[in-house]
Amino acid sequence: MLRQLLTLLTVVTLVGCSAGKMLDITTSSGGASVTRNIAYGGDPRQALDVYAPKNISAAPMAIFFYGGTWQSGDKATYAFVASALAARGIVTVVPDYRLYPGVRYPAFLQDGAAAVRWAKDHGRTYGGDPNKIYLIGHSAGAYIAAMLALDKRWLGEQKLDPARDLKGFVGISGPYDFLPFDDKIVADIFSPARTPESTQPVNQVRPGNPPVLLLHGQSDDVVYPRNSMALAKKLRSVGSSVQTKLYPGVGHIGIIGAMGSPIRFIAPTLRDTVDFILGHGGNDRS
Q: What is the pLDDT along the chain (286 residues), one digit of tens a residue?
A: 444 444 444 444 444 445 666 676 767 787 899 999 999 999 999 999 999 999 999 999 999 999 999 999 999 999 999 999 999 999 999 999 999 999 999 999 999 999 999 999 999 999 999 999 999 999 999 999 999 999 999 999 999 999 999 999 999 999 999 999 999 999 999 999 999 999 999 999 999 999 999 999 999 999 999 999 999 999 999 999 999 999 999 999 999 999 998 899 999 999 999 999 999 755 543 3
pLDDT of residue 22: 64
CB 160 within 8 A of CB 192: no
Distance of CA 103 to the CA centre of its chain: 20
Query: Could you tell me which residues come within 8 angstroms of residue 68 by beta carbon, excluding any fewer than 6 positions away?
Result: 99, 139, 140, 141
Query: Could you tell me which residues come within 8 angstroms of residue 19 by beta carbon, excluding any fewer than 6 positions away?
Result: 11, 257
Closest listed residue to residue 129, CA positions, set 180, 186, 56, 76: 56
Alpha-carbon distance of 231 to 203, in angstroms, equals 9
CB 149 within 8 A of CB 171: no
Closest listed residue to residue 54, CA positions, set 84, 80, 88: 88
Distance of CA 171 to the CA centre of its chain: 6
Per-domain boundaries in the chain: 23-282
pLDDT of residue 14: 47
CATH superfamily of 23-282: Alpha/Beta hydrolase fold, catalytic domain (3.40.50.1820)
pLDDT of residue 24: 63
Say whether pTM exceeds 0.85: yes
User: In degrees rounded to 5, what are phi and psi of residue 255?
Assistant: -65, -35
Alpha-carbon distance of 108 to 96, in angstroms, equals 9
Task: State the greatest distance between any 2 C-alpha atoms of the chain, in Å, as a whole number.
Answer: 51
